[in-house]
Amino acid sequence: MSAERSIAIFSPGLLGGSLAKTIQQRKPGIEIRIWARRADAVDEVRRDLPGVFASDDLGEVIRGASLAVLCMPVQHMADIARSIASCDLAEDLIVTDVGSVKGGLVSELEAIFAGVQTAFIGSHPMAGSQKTGLTNARGDLFHQAACIITPTENTRQADLDRLRTFWLKLGCRVQEMTPKKHDHTVARISHLPHAMAVLTTLAALGEDASVLDSTAGGFRDTTRIAGGDPAMWAGIFLQNRAEVIAALQDASGVMTELLEMLRTMDEEALRRFLARAKALRDLLPAV
């Protein structure tokens, strides 16, 4: 369980930038190297993250790194992974990611790096914000966040232990599950809520947005994540589409139940239905 000596971060968005800030705060002395595709993004890193090495040259950024973290949108990860795999890599390198979808992606990335005798293990820190980009990066973004890591039958225990230690030291609560179980879980607790926030926003405001003048905290909270980045979420939904469709179908089923209770004015059934939701929601510990 060796400590990391040099960490390469690919793409300096909200997650990549927050990762760099958190490592600087919690593990001072570890070298941080950030790759950005565009020259202006490289300049932004140099300006906003003093002490970090930044470059648009993949080979230069990965050189000597003991851990690499892919932080670009999930739909671009395989391409970047292939480019990294063609570079000169340290023998003890472990590659991970921060993507919201794991199933097909983990198989693909694992195979790419297996071809160059390098370990890949998927990670999904459940941290984020509707505010994207390096300017919104925060050194406390991962604090107390759940981080799901998704080993497979090919994962070596020593590599898994190193990855777990990395996230634990950043302040995450680390959970392990298979990529398939991960995709089911996040469809329920992340992708479904996102979709529902979007649907609530469209149904509430689509016809006449002036109702917003009377908005209270309930609308604000329920729809907050609908402000997220459309391109990123389109990618996530499509990468996890089978599980997202299944979750939305369940939501559609309970919506049909609710509509029926309203139509028949069945107050008793309605109370039980609302009490069932309350009992489930109350399982969530207060912050």
What part of residues 139-178 is at the interface with its own copies (CB under 8 A)? 145-146, 148, 175
| Residue 39 C-beta: closest distance to its own copies, Å | 26
**Token digits of residue 139:** 């050194």
Nearer to its own copies, 121 or 225 (CB): 225
Candidates 38-46, 61-69, 83-91, 228-236; binding stretch for its own copies (CB under 8 A): 228-236
| Three-state secondary structure call for residue 35 | strand
Q: Which of 28, 29, 50, 206 is the binder for its own copies (CB under 8 A)?
A: 206
Part in contact with its own copies (CB under 8 A); list of ranges 3-11, 79-87, 112-120, 226-234? 226-234
Q: Is 77 in the site for its own copies (CB under 8 A)?
A: no
Residues 10, 62, 170, 149: is their CA dihedral positive or negative?
A: positive
What is the crossing angle of helices 192-205 and 230-239, to 10°?
Answer: 130
Two structure tokens written together for 227? 């402000």
Query: Within its chain, how far is the Cα of 4 from the centroid?
Result: 22
Provide the mask over 230-249, with x wherever binding to its own copies is found by CB under 8 A and - wherever it is not.
Answer: xx-xxx-xx--x--xx-xxx
Q: Which is nearer to its own copies, 24 or 130 (CB)?
A: 130
CA–CA separation, 138 and 142 (whole Å): 9
Site string for its own copies, 99-138 (x = CB under 8 A): ---------------------------xxx----------
**Could you give the CA distance from residue 179 to residue 121 in angstroms, rounded to a whole number?**
10
Question: How many other C-beta atoms can be found within 10 angstroms of the C-beta atom of residue 147?
Answer: 23
φ and ψ of 122, to 5 deg: -75, 145
State the number of binding residues for its own copies (CB under 8 A).
Answer: 89
Least gap, CB of 108 to its own copies (angstroms):
17
For residue 99, report the phi and psi dihedrals to the nearest 5 degrees. Answer: -70, 150
Segment interacting with its own copies, rule: CB under 8 A, options 18-26, 102-110, 161-169, 186-194:
186-194
What is the maximum span of the chain, computed from C-alpha positions, in angstroms?
68
Say whether 134 sits in a helix, a strand or coil.
helix
**103 and 240 in contact (C-beta within 8 Å)?**
yes
The amino acid sitting at 216 is A
Least distance between its own copies and beta carbon 105 (Å): 16
**Which lies closer to its own copies via its Cβ, residue 3 or residue 231?**
231
Answer whether 240's CB lies under 8 Å from 183's CB.
yes
The dihedral region occupied by 117, where left means phi > 0, alpha psi between -120 and 50, and beta the remainder, is left
Q: Which is nearer to its own copies, 39 or 242 (CB)?
A: 242
Q: Tell me the window of 13-21, 38-46, 161-169, 212-220 that interacts with its own copies (CB under 8 A).
A: 212-220
Told to check if 190 binds its own copies by CB under 8 A, we report yes
1 vs 216, beta carbon nearer its own copies: 216
Identity of the residue, 80 or 174, whose beta carbon is nearer to its own copies in the bound complex: 174
Out of 37, 63, 82, 188, the residue judged to bind its own copies by CB under 8 A: 188
Q: 192 Cβ partners below 8 Å, 6+ apart?
A: 244, 247, 248, 251
Q: Where does this chain touch its own copies (CB under 8 A) — which range of 55-63, 77-85, 105-113, 205-213?
A: 205-213
